[in-house]
């Protein structure tokens, strides 16, 4: 067993193999969190803090709705009206399309995903102290881009909601998380030079 541990450490110290170890750990953490979240959500119903989670969902959905409508109005000058956190607007077929910002649309899962990934993945805590909160802000910004992007996408393609919601902008979330992790891994995790496997120094 000691030989195996030493061999793994030796391989990891070799820069030729570090990327494989790091990417492997990244995907293990991503998929393990997904499984844990499914169990916590679907089987445990967010036990033992369901009340807190439900309130967080409601608060975060209102925040996301207000941020998204502000961007649509002030950045894209889009004409729309809202009702019960649903954004209604005319599409290119002169019919109305709608985007509803429901509690399930919030960034809660992605926030937790990011926390889980960064708390477990190796790296200096002095940098995690600011990089983790920054990542949470970027995740929220990404979700605003997602809602705004779906609305803009539906104007020329009103019949392709599923494509925008379930494919294009859902994948975007995890692409952003992946690139934030790449920046962390390249600039902070490996920022401190690693010692090569210990060898007995020659006596002079």
Per-residue pLDDT, 199: 45
What is d(CA 88, CA 99) in angstroms, rounded to the nearest whole number? Answer: 7
Going by C-alpha positions, the residue among 135, 126, 136, 166 that lies closest to residue 150 is 166
Instruction: Output the DSSP codes for 122-134.
Output: -S-HHHHHHHHHH
H or E segment to which residue 90 belongs:
strand 86-90
Per-residue pLDDT, 19: 85
CB-based contacts of 75, cutoff 8 Å, min separation 6: none
Widest pairwise Cα distance in the chain: 86
3-state DSSP: the chain helix, strand, coil percent, rounded to 5?
Answer: 70, 5, 25
> The pTM is what?
0.85
Per-residue pLDDT, 191: 65
What is d(CA 89, CA 151) in angstroms, rounded to the nearest whole number? Answer: 8
Per-residue pLDDT, 1: 46
What is d(CA 35, CA 113) in angstroms, rounded to the nearest whole number? Answer: 11
What is d(CA 38, CA 45) in angstroms, rounded to the nearest whole number? Answer: 10
Query: Tokens 């494509």 label which residue?
Result: 163
Residue boundaries of the structural domains of the chain: 2-189
CB-based contacts of 165, cutoff 8 Å, min separation 6: 150
Per-residue pLDDT, 13: 63
Per-residue pLDDT, 204: 39
Q: Taking the CA atoms of the chain, what radius of gyration do you get in angstroms? A: 22
Going by C-alpha positions, the residue among 75, 78, 82 that lies closest to residue 99 is 82
Query: Tokens 């844990």 label which residue?
Result: 36
pLDDT in tens, the chain (204 residues): 454 666 666 656 666 678 889 999 999 999 999 999 999 999 999 999 999 999 999 999 999 999 999 999 999 999 999 999 999 999 999 999 999 999 989 999 999 999 999 999 999 999 999 999 999 999 999 999 999 999 999 999 999 999 999 999 989 988 999 999 999 999 998 765 544 444 444 443
b vs e for 169-184, b when ≥16 Cβ sit within 10 Å of the residue's Cβ? beeebeebbeebbeeb
């Amino acid at each position: 067993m000691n030989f195996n541990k030493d061999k793994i450490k030796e391989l990891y110290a070799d820069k030729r193999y570090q990327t494989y170890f790091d990417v492997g750990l990244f995907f293990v953490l991503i998929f393990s969190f997904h499984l844990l979240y499914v169990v916590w959500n679907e089987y445990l119903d967010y036990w033992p803090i369901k009340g807190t989670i439900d309130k967080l969902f409601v608060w975060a959905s209102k925040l996301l709705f207000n941020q998204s409508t502000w961007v649509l109005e002030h950045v894209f000058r889009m004409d729309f009206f809202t009702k019960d956190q649903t954004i209604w607007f005319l599409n290119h077929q002169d019919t109305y399309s709608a985007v509803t910002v429901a509690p399930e649309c919030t960034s809660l899962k992605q926030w937790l995903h990011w926390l889980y990934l960064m708390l477990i993945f190796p790296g200096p805590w002095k940098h995690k102290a600011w990089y983790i909160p920054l990542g949470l802000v970027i995740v929220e910004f990404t979700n605003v881009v997602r809602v705004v992007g779906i609305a803009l996408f539906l104007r020329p393609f009103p019949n392709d909601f599923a494509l925008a919601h379930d494919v294009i902008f859902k994948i975007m979330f995890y692409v952003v998380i992946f690139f934030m992790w790449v920046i962390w891994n390249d600039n902070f995790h490996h920022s401190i030079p690693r010692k090569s496997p210990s060898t007995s120094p020659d006596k002079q």
